[in-house]
Amino acid sequence: MNSELGRLIRFQELNLKIVGLEERTKQIPEEVGRLTGTLEDSRQALEEKHQLIEEEQKRQRQLELEVETLRDRLSKFRGQLMEVKTNREYQAMLHEIEGTGKEIEEKEDQMLEGMMAIEEREELARQANEVYQREEKEVSEKRSKLERSATQAESEIAELQKHRRQLEREIPEGLNQQFQRIASVRNGVALAEAKDQSCQACHVKLRPQHFSEVKTNQKIMTCENCNRFLYYAGS
């Protein structure tokens, strides 16, 4: 094979490897951000569950105070019951006592319901906490894996760039410029394989004479349609 053509092929390979690694590295911060977002969502869900428990507990304390007040009132009424003078006053007092007793019962029912609600919410919070703990572990593992692969890719890129610079020095200036020109308009790909008598990049059929010259790999040849350098890799 023509040595310059061989260099162009290696040069192309290096370019594509570098671009591929750069693309992958570029996606890493985005991926880390997405993972962090997922974890934040779970943390908020857990926080909300805790808030619901706190709200219910606050309501419980409020009910306790109300029951206490009602009990005080009840014992006051009972004391007053001994001091009433008329039957009408006595009946009215009994009525008050009964009403207050009912109110206490209602509030105690509410407290019981509240306690059951707290238990249910605590179970939900426990589940949400499990999810959060599991995700936190997964996310931190994934994150450090991504960070490791970013570091690794960076040093790989640096190494490949070094090789590319070395190789570039061995490519004649004019040829390199031609390569860069084609690469810049062909999405970074300045070389194409010739196979089955056609350019594998643009799929245009090569003239038989042209193809047989390309097949020797002895000359720098280009595709007459897309201008890419052509090489032959065997049938």
Question: In whole angstroms, how close is the CB of 200 to Zn ion at the nearest point?
Answer: 8
Residue ranges in 195-234 that form contacts with Zn ion under rule CB under 5 A: 199, 201-202, 223, 225-226
Which CB, 92 or 204, lies closer to Zn ion? 204
Residue number, 153 or 182, with CB nearest to Zn ion: 182
Shortest Cβ 178–Zn ion spacing (Å):
15
Q: Rounded CA gap, 231 and 214, in Å?
A: 6
Q: Which residues of 108-135 are buried (b: 16+ CB within 10 A; e: fewer)?
A: eeebeebeebbeebeebbeebeeebeeb
CA–CA distances in Å: residue 79 to residues 72, 93, 151: 11, 10, 82
Judged by beta carbon, residue 138 or residue 224, the one nearer Zn ion is 224
Q: Which range touches Zn ion (CB under 5 A), out of 66-74, 88-96, 103-111, 191-199?
A: 191-199
Q: Quick one: which segment of 49-57, 119-127, 143-151, 192-200 binds Zn ion (CB under 5 A)?
A: 192-200
**Closer of 46 and 226 to Zn ion (Cβ):** 226
d(CA 74, CA 1): 108
Size of the site for Zn ion (CB under 5 A): 6
Site for Zn ion in 59-98 (CB under 5 A): none
Q: Which one, 25 or 222, has the nearer CB to Zn ion?
A: 222
- With binding defined as CB under 5 A, does residue 128 bind Zn ion? no
Minimal distance, residue 210 CB to Zn ion, in Å: 11
Would you say 128 or 199 has its CB closer to Zn ion? 199
188: left (phi over 0), alpha (psi -120 to 50) or beta: left
Contacting residues toward Zn ion, per CB under 5 A? 199, 201-202, 223, 225-226
